[in-house]
Structure 1
Amino acid sequence: MLTSFDSIPARDRVIVALDCDAWEAIALADKLQGHAQWLKIGMTLYYAEGPAIVKMFKRRGFNVFLDLKFHDIPHQVEGAARSAAASGADMITMHTVGGIPMMEAAQRGAAAGAAEWGGEVPATLGITVLTSMDAATLAATGVTRPLPEQVAALAAQAKQAGISGVVASPQEASVLREILGPDGFIVTPGVRPAGAALGDQSRVATPAQAFANGASHIVVGRPITEAADPVAAFEAIAAELA
């Protein structure tokens, strides 16, 4: 299925995950400037540095994926989404298991925060099943349906709630593309170049496979950030995608 993202070069849809401290993150960003378009700020970095780190990377010309995975009552998530959007984030995340009213509240908060920031409303993404989880781990939480069915069901709820899309394993991207249509964001972590270590990821694919499966964006962390030459590692992925 063709998507509305296909006109954007694949290299500009690779998100580099900066899951490290601020000094290392800034050094990596300086190296990647002019190469990578997107950076991911997760809990490790954001909880240490707060909104200032988002604003810093925005000033340097990056798009920022702020991955804080909101999960609370709708009132709290609406406020969190508003604050995240007001920092300038271009993507924000929440857990779909929080339910449709919570996701709707996040969308309202994101719109309000964007108005404060003076920019576009960020893409609002629902976490389906974490890519570190396998079927046994999911079952141990009390979920009785098979993992792919759980992912599909949660993605359908995200669509019903009116958020932009989902975060899911690249292995589920093709099914999710059918559910979300050509305009839905499907952001896939758990992406590893061929031969790279899996780390704590269970459901993985190569960058090319992830896009072929229907991902709109891919998230790559340690294969780039822990490489001896992060720019060369990023460019190798970009060359594969080209």
Structure 2
Amino acid sequence: MRNERPIIALDFATKEQVLEFLKGFDGSLFLKVGMELFYQEGPELVREINRLGHDIFLDLKLHDIPNTVESAMRGIAKLNVAMVNVHAAGGLEMMRAAKRGLKGSDTQLIAVTQLTSTSEEGMQKEQLIPVSLEESVVHYARLADDAGLDGVVCSVHEAEAIGDACGEEFLRVTPGIRPSQVSADDQKRVATPAEASRQGSTHIVVGRAITKASNPKDSYQQIRAEWSGQ
């Protein structure tokens, strides 16, 4: 289930910036559209990216009562995105409702475990979760698996443990990917593409290391080669 294309996080505020960025690339890309961009530009941007032949991870992190999430997913199903996510903290019934909302579509559904900006100390103090960060993440992964989801968002550092718990076919989508020379910014649990490859990630998400690079296409190719072990 490993995807050889790094997912590029479109860290832009407008459709015009996105389309200008995409002019520098050839072939089909896997692109992440997050909340900032989606709330500015809406579903039409997703449709336009689809028309250009790219795959989309719609990173909206839905977290609400089951009926609301199911209804929202019925709308998302019409957008024909490759992947969408919810928060595992919403619980088993919410995740099952999200899955029902996508019925009949090919969209993969994954769940956020713990954000890569969350430290173990922060999780224990702010969320009152007394176990280790890895235990919390693996627990959420098992819950997502029980709900019938395709995988989870996690850090590289938990990917191997999730594979052991949920099977190698279970998706482990890992943000916080930084080439060694790039700053970690606001993320605490980061890794290089090579580390992600070794530790069992099935997908990697890379943003500023590509979008803010002086030559984004070259940066993308370098990261892809490191991810692929070339």
- Note the C-alpha offset of 1:77: 0.5
Residue 135 of structure 1 aligns to which amino acid in structure 2? Answer: E
Q: Distance in 2 between matches of 1:80 and 1:87?
A: 12
216-225 vs 84-93, which moves further: 84-93
Provide the aligned C-alpha RMSD in A. Answer: 1.2
Q: Secondary structure at the match of 1:111?
A: coil
Does 2:223 align with 1:231? no
Does 2:202 align with 1:209? no
- Note the C-alpha offset of 1:239: 2.4
135-144 vs 69-78, which moves further: 135-144
Does 2:11 align with 1:26? no
Residue 176 of structure 1 aligns to which amino acid in structure 2? Answer: I
> Which residue of 135, 158, 163 corresponds with 1:149?
135
Q: Name the counterpart of 1:98.
A: 90
4+ aligned runs moved over 4 Å, structure 1: none
Aligned residues: 226
TM-score by length of 2: 0.95
The percent of aligned pairs where both chains have the same amino acid is 39
- Note the C-alpha offset of 1:89: 1.0
Does 2:181 align with 1:188? no
Residue 135 of structure 2 aligns to which amino acid in structure 1? Answer: E
For residues 23-172 of structure 1, the aligned pairs below 5 Å read 23-34=16-27, 37-112=29-104, 114=105, 121-139=106-124, 140-172=126-158
- Note the C-alpha offset of 1:27: 1.3
1:50-94 per-position Cα deviation (integer Å, ceiling 9, x unaligned): 111111111111110000000000001011112112111110000
1:10-64 per-position Cα deviation (integer Å, ceiling 9, x unaligned): 2x2x100002122211211222342x62000000100011111111111111110
Q: Distance in 2 between matches of 1:23 and 1:138?
A: 38
TM-score by length of 1: 0.90
Q: Could you tell me which runs of 5 or more consecutive residues in structure 2 were left unpaired when the two chains were aligned.
A: none
Q: Distance in 1 between matches of 2:221 and 2:95?
A: 36
Q: Could you tell me which runs of 5 or more consecutive residues in structure 1 were left unpaired when the two chains were aligned.
A: 115-120
Residue 224 of structure 1 aligns to which amino acid in structure 2? Answer: I
Q: Distance in 2 between matches of 1:222 and 1:68?
A: 19
- Note the C-alpha offset of 1:128: 0.1
Residue 32 of structure 1 aligns to which amino acid in structure 2? Answer: F
